[in-house]
Amino acid sequence: MIESSMAIFVLLGSFFVFILIRFPIAYAVALSSILCLLYQGLPLTTVAQQMVKGISSFSLMAVPFFITMGYLMGSGGISEKLIALANACVGWMRGGMAMVNIVSSYFFGGISGSAAADTASLGSIMIPMMVEQGYDDDFATAVTVTSSCEGLLVPPSHNMVIYATTAGGVSIGSLFLAGYLPAAILAGTLMVGSYIISIKRNYPKGDKFNLLNLFKQIAHSFWALAAVLIVVVGVVGGVFTATESAAIAVFYSLIVSVFIYRGMTWKGVWKVLDQCVNTLSIVLILISTSSIFGFLLTRLNVPSLAAKAILGLTDNTIILALLLNLILLVLGVIMDMAPIILIATPILLPIATSIGISPIQFGIMMILNCGIGLLTPPVGSVLFIGSAVGEVSIERLVKAILPFYLLMIITLLLLTFIPAISLYLPSVFM
Protein backbone atom coordinates (compact mmCIF):
# COMPACT_ATOMS: atom_id res chain seq x y z
CA MET A 1 0.00 0.00 0.00
CA ILE A 2 2.83 2.38 0.93
CA GLU A 3 4.63 1.45 -2.28
CA SER A 4 1.53 2.25 -4.30
CA SER A 5 0.98 5.54 -2.48
CA MET A 6 4.57 6.61 -3.15
CA ALA A 7 4.19 5.75 -6.84
CA ILE A 8 1.04 7.90 -7.01
CA PHE A 9 2.89 10.72 -5.25
CA VAL A 10 5.78 10.48 -7.74
CA LEU A 11 3.39 10.48 -10.71
CA LEU A 12 1.08 13.31 -9.65
CA GLY A 13 3.62 15.31 -7.63
CA SER A 14 6.18 15.46 -10.41
CA PHE A 15 3.43 16.27 -12.93
CA PHE A 16 2.26 19.34 -11.00
CA VAL A 17 5.85 20.44 -10.37
CA PHE A 18 6.55 20.32 -14.11
CA ILE A 19 3.33 22.28 -14.74
CA LEU A 20 4.28 24.95 -12.21
CA ILE A 21 7.71 25.46 -13.76
CA ARG A 22 5.96 25.90 -17.11
CA PHE A 23 7.05 22.74 -18.92
CA PRO A 24 5.07 22.09 -22.11
CA ILE A 25 2.14 19.91 -21.09
CA ALA A 26 3.13 16.96 -23.29
CA TYR A 27 6.64 16.90 -21.76
CA ALA A 28 5.21 17.22 -18.24
CA VAL A 29 2.91 14.23 -18.79
CA ALA A 30 5.65 12.11 -20.39
CA LEU A 31 8.40 12.90 -17.88
CA SER A 32 6.19 12.34 -14.82
CA SER A 33 5.12 9.01 -16.32
CA ILE A 34 8.75 7.98 -16.94
CA LEU A 35 9.71 8.89 -13.36
CA CYS A 36 6.83 6.77 -12.07
CA LEU A 37 7.84 3.84 -14.27
CA LEU A 38 11.43 4.06 -13.03
CA TYR A 39 10.27 4.19 -9.42
CA GLN A 40 8.18 1.06 -9.91
CA GLY A 41 10.98 -0.71 -11.74
CA LEU A 42 8.93 -1.17 -14.91
CA PRO A 43 10.66 -1.36 -18.32
CA LEU A 44 10.78 1.89 -20.29
CA THR A 45 9.57 -0.01 -23.35
CA THR A 46 6.14 0.49 -21.73
CA VAL A 47 6.39 4.13 -22.84
CA ALA A 48 6.58 3.26 -26.53
CA GLN A 49 3.93 0.55 -26.21
CA GLN A 50 1.39 2.82 -24.53
CA MET A 51 2.09 5.76 -26.84
CA VAL A 52 1.40 3.62 -29.90
CA LYS A 53 -1.64 2.07 -28.24
CA GLY A 54 -2.99 5.52 -27.36
CA ILE A 55 -3.21 6.69 -30.95
CA SER A 56 -4.09 3.31 -32.51
CA SER A 57 -7.81 4.02 -32.51
CA PHE A 58 -10.16 4.14 -35.50
CA SER A 59 -12.28 6.82 -33.81
CA LEU A 60 -9.26 9.11 -33.43
CA MET A 61 -8.83 9.13 -37.21
CA ALA A 62 -11.71 11.61 -37.26
CA VAL A 63 -9.64 14.19 -35.34
CA PRO A 64 -7.17 15.12 -38.14
CA PHE A 65 -10.03 15.24 -40.65
CA PHE A 66 -12.12 17.58 -38.50
CA ILE A 67 -9.10 19.81 -37.86
CA THR A 68 -8.39 19.95 -41.60
CA MET A 69 -12.03 20.70 -42.38
CA GLY A 70 -12.01 23.58 -39.89
CA TYR A 71 -8.86 25.10 -41.34
CA LEU A 72 -10.10 24.78 -44.93
CA MET A 73 -13.49 26.33 -44.23
CA GLY A 74 -12.03 28.96 -41.90
CA SER A 75 -9.54 30.11 -44.54
CA GLY A 76 -11.88 29.73 -47.50
CA GLY A 77 -13.73 33.03 -47.31
CA ILE A 78 -16.78 31.96 -45.33
CA SER A 79 -16.27 34.19 -42.26
CA GLU A 80 -17.74 37.24 -44.00
CA LYS A 81 -20.75 35.27 -45.21
CA LEU A 82 -21.52 33.92 -41.74
CA ILE A 83 -21.17 37.41 -40.25
CA ALA A 84 -23.60 38.74 -42.86
CA LEU A 85 -26.05 35.94 -42.02
CA ALA A 86 -25.80 36.69 -38.29
CA ASN A 87 -26.27 40.40 -38.99
CA ALA A 88 -29.46 39.66 -40.90
CA CYS A 89 -30.72 37.62 -37.92
CA VAL A 90 -29.89 39.81 -34.90
CA GLY A 91 -28.11 42.96 -36.11
CA TRP A 92 -31.23 45.10 -35.59
CA MET A 93 -31.05 44.86 -31.77
CA ARG A 94 -29.47 47.33 -29.35
CA GLY A 95 -25.80 46.38 -29.30
CA GLY A 96 -26.50 44.59 -32.57
CA MET A 97 -22.85 44.03 -33.50
CA ALA A 98 -22.25 42.22 -30.20
CA MET A 99 -25.23 39.97 -31.00
CA VAL A 100 -23.86 39.42 -34.50
CA ASN A 101 -20.53 38.43 -32.99
CA ILE A 102 -22.18 35.85 -30.70
CA VAL A 103 -24.43 34.34 -33.38
CA SER A 104 -21.55 34.27 -35.88
CA SER A 105 -19.59 32.20 -33.39
CA TYR A 106 -22.45 29.71 -33.20
CA PHE A 107 -22.46 29.33 -37.00
CA PHE A 108 -18.68 29.34 -37.32
CA GLY A 109 -18.28 26.87 -34.46
CA GLY A 110 -20.15 24.29 -36.50
CA ILE A 111 -17.44 24.62 -39.13
CA SER A 112 -14.20 25.11 -37.19
CA GLY A 113 -14.95 23.32 -33.90
CA SER A 114 -12.21 25.42 -32.35
CA ALA A 115 -12.44 28.40 -29.99
CA ALA A 116 -8.97 29.56 -31.01
CA ALA A 117 -9.85 29.47 -34.73
CA ASP A 118 -13.10 31.31 -34.03
CA THR A 119 -11.32 34.07 -32.10
CA ALA A 120 -8.57 34.49 -34.69
CA SER A 121 -10.83 34.36 -37.75
CA LEU A 122 -14.00 36.19 -36.66
CA GLY A 123 -12.16 38.41 -34.19
CA SER A 124 -9.91 39.91 -36.85
CA ILE A 125 -13.07 41.05 -38.68
CA MET A 126 -15.57 41.72 -35.88
CA ILE A 127 -13.41 43.55 -33.33
CA PRO A 128 -12.27 46.38 -35.68
CA MET A 129 -15.82 46.58 -37.06
CA MET A 130 -17.31 46.96 -33.56
CA VAL A 131 -14.70 49.53 -32.49
CA GLU A 132 -15.39 51.55 -35.63
CA GLN A 133 -19.10 51.66 -34.77
CA GLY A 134 -18.48 52.96 -31.25
CA TYR A 135 -18.02 49.87 -29.09
CA ASP A 136 -15.21 49.78 -26.52
CA ASP A 137 -12.32 47.63 -27.69
CA ASP A 138 -12.17 45.60 -24.45
CA PHE A 139 -15.91 44.84 -24.63
CA ALA A 140 -15.66 43.83 -28.30
CA THR A 141 -12.76 41.50 -27.53
CA ALA A 142 -14.49 40.05 -24.44
CA VAL A 143 -17.59 39.22 -26.50
CA THR A 144 -15.41 37.59 -29.16
CA VAL A 145 -13.41 35.32 -26.85
CA THR A 146 -16.35 34.22 -24.68
CA SER A 147 -18.67 33.50 -27.60
CA SER A 148 -15.90 31.45 -29.25
CA CYS A 149 -16.55 28.74 -26.63
CA GLU A 150 -19.80 27.96 -28.46
CA GLY A 151 -17.62 26.38 -31.15
CA LEU A 152 -16.48 23.74 -28.65
CA LEU A 153 -20.06 22.59 -28.14
CA VAL A 154 -21.45 22.90 -31.66
CA PRO A 155 -20.58 19.79 -33.72
CA PRO A 156 -18.43 18.67 -35.32
CA SER A 157 -15.97 19.16 -32.45
CA HIS A 158 -12.76 17.13 -32.40
CA ASN A 159 -12.69 17.55 -28.61
CA MET A 160 -15.93 15.57 -28.46
CA VAL A 161 -14.23 12.80 -30.43
CA ILE A 162 -11.30 12.81 -27.97
CA TYR A 163 -13.72 12.63 -25.02
CA ALA A 164 -15.76 9.81 -26.57
CA THR A 165 -12.59 7.81 -27.21
CA THR A 166 -11.26 8.41 -23.69
CA ALA A 167 -14.59 7.66 -21.99
CA GLY A 168 -15.10 4.46 -24.00
CA GLY A 169 -18.50 3.37 -25.26
CA VAL A 170 -19.89 6.90 -25.65
CA SER A 171 -21.64 7.53 -28.96
CA ILE A 172 -20.02 10.34 -30.95
CA GLY A 173 -23.33 10.95 -32.73
CA SER A 174 -25.10 11.42 -29.39
CA LEU A 175 -22.40 13.82 -28.23
CA PHE A 176 -22.74 15.82 -31.44
CA LEU A 177 -26.49 16.17 -30.91
CA ALA A 178 -26.05 16.92 -27.22
CA GLY A 179 -24.01 20.05 -27.95
CA TYR A 180 -26.60 22.04 -29.88
CA LEU A 181 -28.93 23.13 -27.06
CA PRO A 182 -26.13 23.90 -24.54
CA ALA A 183 -24.38 26.04 -27.17
CA ALA A 184 -27.66 27.84 -27.91
CA ILE A 185 -28.24 28.49 -24.20
CA LEU A 186 -24.68 29.78 -23.83
CA ALA A 187 -25.26 32.09 -26.80
CA GLY A 188 -28.56 33.25 -25.29
CA THR A 189 -27.05 34.09 -21.89
CA LEU A 190 -24.16 35.95 -23.51
CA MET A 191 -26.63 37.90 -25.64
CA VAL A 192 -28.67 38.87 -22.58
CA GLY A 193 -25.53 40.10 -20.83
CA SER A 194 -24.36 41.96 -23.92
CA TYR A 195 -27.78 43.58 -24.31
CA ILE A 196 -27.77 44.85 -20.72
CA ILE A 197 -24.24 46.25 -21.09
CA SER A 198 -25.17 47.80 -24.46
CA ILE A 199 -28.13 49.63 -22.93
CA LYS A 200 -26.01 50.95 -20.06
CA ARG A 201 -23.28 52.15 -22.44
CA ASN A 202 -25.70 53.26 -25.16
CA TYR A 203 -24.13 51.17 -27.89
CA PRO A 204 -25.77 51.60 -31.33
CA LYS A 205 -28.50 49.56 -33.03
CA GLY A 206 -28.13 48.09 -36.50
CA ASP A 207 -30.42 48.32 -39.50
CA LYS A 208 -34.06 47.23 -39.21
CA PHE A 209 -34.89 43.57 -39.65
CA ASN A 210 -35.43 42.59 -43.29
CA LEU A 211 -36.87 39.16 -44.02
CA LEU A 212 -35.84 39.28 -47.69
CA ASN A 213 -32.23 40.03 -46.71
CA LEU A 214 -32.29 37.12 -44.24
CA PHE A 215 -33.29 34.65 -46.96
CA LYS A 216 -30.64 36.14 -49.24
CA GLN A 217 -27.89 35.63 -46.63
CA ILE A 218 -29.09 32.09 -45.90
CA ALA A 219 -28.71 31.32 -49.60
CA HIS A 220 -25.19 32.80 -49.65
CA SER A 221 -24.18 30.79 -46.55
CA PHE A 222 -25.84 27.54 -47.60
CA TRP A 223 -22.71 25.85 -48.91
CA ALA A 224 -20.82 26.57 -45.68
CA LEU A 225 -23.61 25.39 -43.37
CA ALA A 226 -24.16 22.27 -45.49
CA ALA A 227 -20.79 20.93 -44.30
CA VAL A 228 -22.22 20.63 -40.79
CA LEU A 229 -25.32 18.88 -42.10
CA ILE A 230 -23.17 16.34 -43.95
CA VAL A 231 -21.34 15.41 -40.76
CA VAL A 232 -24.15 15.48 -38.21
CA VAL A 233 -26.94 14.02 -40.34
CA GLY A 234 -24.60 11.38 -41.74
CA VAL A 235 -23.42 10.24 -38.31
CA VAL A 236 -26.79 10.46 -36.56
CA GLY A 237 -28.57 8.77 -39.47
CA GLY A 238 -26.08 5.93 -39.47
CA VAL A 239 -25.09 6.60 -43.08
CA PHE A 240 -21.41 6.59 -42.14
CA THR A 241 -19.13 6.70 -39.10
CA ALA A 242 -17.69 9.89 -37.61
CA THR A 243 -14.35 9.16 -39.29
CA GLU A 244 -15.96 8.63 -42.70
CA SER A 245 -18.09 11.74 -42.32
CA ALA A 246 -15.02 13.78 -41.40
CA ALA A 247 -13.15 12.56 -44.50
CA ILE A 248 -16.13 13.43 -46.72
CA ALA A 249 -16.38 16.84 -45.03
CA VAL A 250 -12.71 17.58 -45.82
CA PHE A 251 -13.25 16.84 -49.51
CA TYR A 252 -16.45 18.92 -49.49
CA SER A 253 -14.70 21.82 -47.70
CA LEU A 254 -11.92 21.79 -50.29
CA ILE A 255 -14.45 22.03 -53.16
CA VAL A 256 -16.43 24.82 -51.45
CA SER A 257 -13.36 26.89 -50.48
CA VAL A 258 -11.56 26.64 -53.84
CA PHE A 259 -14.30 26.39 -56.45
CA ILE A 260 -17.53 27.83 -54.98
CA TYR A 261 -16.50 30.65 -52.61
CA ARG A 262 -13.08 30.98 -54.28
CA GLY A 263 -11.58 32.27 -51.05
CA MET A 264 -8.52 30.06 -51.41
CA THR A 265 -6.07 29.15 -54.14
CA TRP A 266 -4.27 25.81 -54.45
CA LYS A 267 -1.19 27.52 -53.02
CA GLY A 268 -3.33 28.51 -50.05
CA VAL A 269 -4.45 24.90 -49.64
CA TRP A 270 -0.86 23.77 -49.12
CA LYS A 271 -0.38 26.52 -46.53
CA VAL A 272 -3.51 25.38 -44.70
CA LEU A 273 -2.33 21.76 -44.76
CA ASP A 274 0.96 22.90 -43.22
CA GLN A 275 -1.00 24.58 -40.39
CA CYS A 276 -3.05 21.40 -39.96
CA VAL A 277 0.08 19.27 -39.57
CA ASN A 278 1.42 21.64 -36.91
CA THR A 279 -1.84 21.53 -34.94
CA LEU A 280 -2.32 17.81 -35.40
CA SER A 281 1.21 17.03 -34.21
CA ILE A 282 0.46 18.81 -30.94
CA VAL A 283 -2.84 16.95 -30.48
CA LEU A 284 -1.39 13.51 -31.25
CA ILE A 285 1.62 14.04 -28.97
CA LEU A 286 -0.77 14.96 -26.16
CA ILE A 287 -2.96 11.92 -26.81
CA SER A 288 -0.01 9.53 -26.97
CA THR A 289 1.76 10.83 -23.84
CA SER A 290 -1.53 11.00 -21.93
CA SER A 291 -2.03 7.35 -22.79
CA ILE A 292 1.03 6.45 -20.68
CA PHE A 293 -0.26 8.67 -17.87
CA GLY A 294 -3.71 7.06 -18.05
CA PHE A 295 -2.16 3.58 -18.03
CA LEU A 296 -0.32 4.37 -14.81
CA LEU A 297 -3.40 5.96 -13.21
CA THR A 298 -5.36 2.79 -13.91
CA ARG A 299 -2.52 0.49 -12.78
CA LEU A 300 -2.23 2.40 -9.49
CA ASN A 301 -6.01 2.33 -9.02
CA VAL A 302 -6.18 6.14 -8.84
CA PRO A 303 -9.72 6.51 -10.34
CA SER A 304 -11.33 4.29 -7.71
CA LEU A 305 -9.27 5.86 -4.90
CA ALA A 306 -10.27 9.35 -6.05
CA ALA A 307 -13.90 8.29 -6.33
CA LYS A 308 -13.89 6.88 -2.77
CA ALA A 309 -12.18 10.02 -1.44
CA ILE A 310 -14.60 12.42 -3.11
CA LEU A 311 -17.71 10.34 -2.38
CA GLY A 312 -16.51 10.03 1.21
CA LEU A 313 -16.73 13.79 1.67
CA THR A 314 -20.51 13.87 1.34
CA ASP A 315 -23.44 11.89 -0.02
CA ASN A 316 -25.18 15.05 -1.26
CA THR A 317 -25.36 14.72 -5.06
CA ILE A 318 -25.70 18.49 -5.53
CA ILE A 319 -22.49 19.19 -3.63
CA LEU A 320 -20.70 16.39 -5.48
CA ALA A 321 -21.81 17.77 -8.86
CA LEU A 322 -20.57 21.23 -7.86
CA LEU A 323 -17.31 19.69 -6.67
CA LEU A 324 -16.78 18.00 -10.06
CA ASN A 325 -17.25 21.34 -11.80
CA LEU A 326 -14.89 23.05 -9.35
CA ILE A 327 -12.16 20.45 -10.00
CA LEU A 328 -12.50 20.91 -13.76
CA LEU A 329 -12.47 24.70 -13.46
CA VAL A 330 -9.28 24.59 -11.37
CA LEU A 331 -7.65 22.22 -13.86
CA GLY A 332 -8.67 24.62 -16.65
CA VAL A 333 -6.66 27.38 -15.00
CA ILE A 334 -3.39 25.40 -15.17
CA MET A 335 -3.87 23.04 -18.15
CA ASP A 336 -5.05 23.13 -21.75
CA MET A 337 -8.24 21.47 -22.94
CA ALA A 338 -7.09 18.21 -24.53
CA PRO A 339 -4.89 17.12 -21.57
CA ILE A 340 -7.76 17.75 -19.14
CA ILE A 341 -10.08 15.56 -21.19
CA LEU A 342 -7.48 12.82 -21.52
CA ILE A 343 -6.34 12.81 -17.88
CA ALA A 344 -9.45 13.79 -15.90
CA THR A 345 -12.07 11.71 -17.74
CA PRO A 346 -10.95 8.29 -16.40
CA ILE A 347 -10.88 9.73 -12.85
CA LEU A 348 -14.01 11.90 -12.75
CA LEU A 349 -16.41 10.08 -15.09
CA PRO A 350 -17.00 7.14 -12.66
CA ILE A 351 -17.85 9.67 -9.94
CA ALA A 352 -20.24 11.49 -12.26
CA THR A 353 -22.05 8.30 -13.28
CA SER A 354 -22.29 7.19 -9.63
CA ILE A 355 -24.37 10.28 -8.80
CA GLY A 356 -26.61 9.88 -11.83
CA ILE A 357 -24.89 12.09 -14.40
CA SER A 358 -24.94 10.53 -17.86
CA PRO A 359 -21.56 10.16 -19.65
CA ILE A 360 -22.98 12.32 -22.45
CA GLN A 361 -24.09 15.04 -20.06
CA PHE A 362 -20.75 14.89 -18.24
CA GLY A 363 -18.94 15.23 -21.57
CA ILE A 364 -20.81 18.47 -22.32
CA MET A 365 -20.11 19.73 -18.80
CA MET A 366 -16.42 18.93 -19.17
CA ILE A 367 -16.12 20.68 -22.53
CA LEU A 368 -17.77 23.86 -21.24
CA ASN A 369 -15.58 23.78 -18.10
CA CYS A 370 -12.51 23.45 -20.30
CA GLY A 371 -13.83 26.27 -22.51
CA ILE A 372 -13.96 28.57 -19.48
CA GLY A 373 -10.42 27.48 -18.70
CA LEU A 374 -9.31 28.66 -22.15
CA LEU A 375 -10.31 32.19 -21.06
CA THR A 376 -8.49 32.23 -17.74
CA PRO A 377 -4.85 33.14 -17.07
CA PRO A 378 -2.11 31.94 -16.81
CA VAL A 379 -2.51 29.38 -19.65
CA GLY A 380 -5.72 30.53 -21.34
CA SER A 381 -4.71 30.26 -24.99
CA VAL A 382 -7.91 31.85 -26.35
CA LEU A 383 -7.50 34.75 -23.89
CA PHE A 384 -4.02 35.45 -25.28
CA ILE A 385 -5.19 35.16 -28.90
CA GLY A 386 -8.05 37.59 -28.20
CA SER A 387 -5.66 40.01 -26.52
CA ALA A 388 -3.36 39.94 -29.55
CA VAL A 389 -6.14 40.23 -32.15
CA GLY A 390 -8.01 42.99 -30.28
CA GLU A 391 -4.80 44.76 -29.22
CA VAL A 392 -6.08 44.89 -25.64
CA SER A 393 -3.93 44.19 -22.58
CA ILE A 394 -4.61 40.97 -20.66
CA GLU A 395 -5.49 42.98 -17.53
CA ARG A 396 -8.15 45.08 -19.31
CA LEU A 397 -9.50 42.06 -21.15
CA VAL A 398 -9.90 39.93 -18.00
CA LYS A 399 -11.71 42.82 -16.31
CA ALA A 400 -14.08 43.13 -19.30
CA ILE A 401 -14.72 39.37 -19.29
CA LEU A 402 -15.76 39.26 -15.60
CA PRO A 403 -19.54 39.60 -16.21
CA PHE A 404 -19.28 37.03 -19.00
CA TYR A 405 -17.53 34.58 -16.64
CA LEU A 406 -20.64 34.80 -14.46
CA LEU A 407 -22.93 34.13 -17.41
CA MET A 408 -20.88 31.11 -18.45
CA ILE A 409 -20.98 29.73 -14.89
CA ILE A 410 -24.77 30.15 -14.88
CA THR A 411 -24.94 28.19 -18.14
CA LEU A 412 -22.69 25.51 -16.64
CA LEU A 413 -24.97 25.15 -13.62
CA LEU A 414 -28.01 24.83 -15.89
CA LEU A 415 -26.27 22.03 -17.82
CA THR A 416 -25.32 20.33 -14.55
CA PHE A 417 -28.72 20.32 -12.89
CA ILE A 418 -31.04 20.11 -15.90
CA PRO A 419 -29.94 16.95 -17.74
CA ALA A 420 -32.60 17.37 -20.44
CA ILE A 421 -30.65 20.29 -21.94
CA SER A 422 -27.91 17.88 -23.00
CA LEU A 423 -29.91 14.68 -23.35
CA TYR A 424 -33.12 15.74 -25.10
CA LEU A 425 -31.87 15.74 -28.70
CA PRO A 426 -29.91 12.46 -28.33
CA SER A 427 -32.96 10.80 -26.79
CA VAL A 428 -35.15 11.92 -29.71
CA PHE A 429 -32.85 11.21 -32.65
CA MET A 430 -30.64 8.39 -31.38
What per-residue confidence (pLDDT) applies to 415?
Answer: 93
Q: How confident is the model at residue 236 (pLDDT cuts 50, 70, 90)?
A: low
Cβ atoms 162, 63 nearer than 8 A:
yes
Is the pLDDT reported for residue 421 higher than 90? yes
Is the pLDDT reported for residue 259 higher than 70? yes
Distances in Å between the Cα of 80 and the Cα atoms of 103, 124, 220, 386, 420 are 13, 11, 10, 19, 34
Nearest alpha carbon to residue 366 among 346, 340, 347, 343: 340
What are 183-192's pLDDT values in tens digits? 999 999 999 9
- Cis check for the bond before 378: say yes or no (omega within 30 of 0): yes
Please list, in sequence order, all residues whose beta carbon lies within 8 angstroms of the beta carbon of residue 187, skipping any fewer than 6 positions away.
102, 103, 105, 106, 147, 150
> Which of 38-52, 285-299, 389-403 comes out lowest in average pLDDT?
285-299
Is the pLDDT reported for residue 165 higher than 60? yes
Q: Looking at residues 13-30, what average pLDDT do you find?
A: 82
What per-residue confidence (pLDDT) applies to 275?
Answer: 76
Q: How confident is the model at residue 404 (pLDDT cuts 50, 70, 90)?
A: very high
What is the torsional sign of CA 12, 18, 20, 23? negative
What per-residue confidence (pLDDT) applies to 3?
Answer: 65
What per-residue confidence (pLDDT) applies to 110?
Answer: 65
What per-residue confidence (pLDDT) applies to 362?
Answer: 94
What per-residue confidence (pLDDT) applies to 40?
Answer: 86
What are 55-87's pLDDT values in tens digits? 776 666 777 777 777 777 766 667 677 777 777
